[in-house]
Amino acid sequence: MPAPIELFYWPTPNGWKITIALEEMGLPYNVNLIDIGKGDQFKPDFLALAPNNRMPAIIDPEGPDGAPISIFESGAILQYLARKTGRFYGQTERERIAVDEWLMWQMGGLGPMAGQAHHFLKYAPRMTPPNDLPYAKDRYRNETGRLYRVLDTQLGKHAYVAGNYYSIADMAIWGWASLWEGQQQTLDDKPNMARWLDELGARDGVKNGRAVAAELRDKKRNARAEKEAQKNMFGLKG
């Protein structure tokens, strides 16, 4: 039995990528909660692992050559875990290139755009003072919709995003795509995406990964704690 991987995590789409991968790959892991609302991501011990003050991060005590290694950035972690286990990264170099393409599409496109959609549609209007910005809401809602149309088109050609094989690219995209309602999107014109969401959501690895610390995701805070959480998560002053 390999030594457990130390996972530094909070239940967000980026965190889910890694819990899903660890569950799918059958790797043992310990969860170290990084409460981004309380500012845990700025603590020196965590910054030593993740200098960009973003979770997730991991420490693998059995890294390359058997020596421990710490890794930050969810995409880099997924690539590392796939190489370590030899799973969910395709079987040929062409397949691995396709996985990397769609993983980068998520990292550079869907994640940032859907994240901004969540921010301006859900969080910004609740700030003190409220920041209800129609241009920003339209901008990120529309761009997220465009990206989902790209995804739906791709899934009309293949069972999974990189081809007819399940990969770390699917794991990376699923968490963000599963929150389509909060991004004010529709699946009425995206049957392939709807099929894929349901199929992946039924996998034990996805269900178990999504369930890690799920009770903390929507935990209610009082007004003072909510204001502090917004400051910590969104870099607000004051």
Domain boundaries, the chain: 5-87, 93-202
- Domain 5-87 and domain 93-202 have a common topology: no
Q: What is the CATH number of domain 93-202?
A: 1.20.1050.10
Give residue 76's identity as a one-letter amino acid code.
A
pLDDT value at position 172? 98
pLDDT value at position 238? 45
Model confidence pLDDT, tens digit, residues 42-83 = 999 999 999 999 999 999 999 999 999 999 999 999 999 999
| Residues near 234 by beta carbon (within 8 Å), at least 6 away in sequence | 119, 123
Give residue 207's identity as a one-letter amino acid code.
K
- The SS3 call for residue 79 is helix
Model confidence pLDDT, tens digit, residues 110-132 = 999 999 999 999 999 999 889 99
Q: Residues 21, 24, 28, CA angle at the centre, nearest 5°?
A: 80
Which range, 25-29, 218-222, 233-237, is most confident? 25-29
Average pLDDT taken over every residue of the chain: 93
- What's the token pair of residue 15? 């965190």
Task: Report whether pLDDT(222) > 80.
Answer: no
Confidence band, pLDDT 50/70/90 cuts, at residue 218: confident
* CATH superfamily, domain at 5-87: Glutaredoxin (3.40.30.10)
Task: Report whether pLDDT(219) > 50.
Answer: yes
Mean pLDDT confidence for 24-47: 96
